[in-house]
Amino acid sequence: MSTHFVITIATVVVATLIISACHHSRHNQSRHDSEHALKHLSKKLDLDVSQQQQVAAIISQVSTLKDEQGRLKKEWEDYARQTITVDADDPAETDRFVKKQSENAAEISRRFANSIAEIKEVLNDEQEDKLITLLDKHSSRKRKH
């Protein structure tokens, strides 16, 4: 075997391991964030066991939606990078890409809205008020940064 071939194979193996580790780390971080969110909401809203189970399922859905939003963002970044580096400009291809991205974004938004409606069904009036207060605090902290 040539040295070049061995180096190429080694590079592919290392790249695969790095990609796998990054994906695994991101997945674990997402799961940790979901668990932390559930624990925080359970404490702040005084959720009972049934509510915790329902909220956990909704948080999982929202986590998936956040991942999908991230994927769409990456597709836009890749599209921008490709469009800038390639001299060919195909308006039809651009229209197809924009239409697909718009449809995907609309679907994600619809599913987020459904998740909000599901949360509302799980909480009582007092818990809804507490959740609004938490959201307001979260928003004000984000504006300060």
Encode pLDDT of 7-52 as tens digits.
Answer: 555 444 444 455 544 444 444 456 668 888 889 889 988 999 999 9
Give the model's pLDDT for residue 4: 46
Question: Angle at the Cα of 77 (from 71 to 81), degrees rounded to 5?
Answer: 145
Give the model's pLDDT for residue 31: 63
In whole angstroms, how far apart are CA 17 and each of 28, 70, 81, 139?
16, 22, 25, 38
Number of H helices, E strands in the chain: 4, 0
Selection from 26, 24, 13 nearest residue 63 by Cα: 26
**Is this prediction's pTM over 0.85?**
no
Give the model's pLDDT for residue 34: 84
Selection from 135, 77, 128, 119 nearest residue 101 by Cα: 77
Give the model's pLDDT for residue 7: 54
**Where would I find the beta strands (DSSP E) of 13-122?**
none
d(CA 123, CA 115): 13
62-117 pLDDT, tens digit per residue, is 889 889 999 999 998 888 888 888 766 778 888 898 899 999 999 999 998 898 88
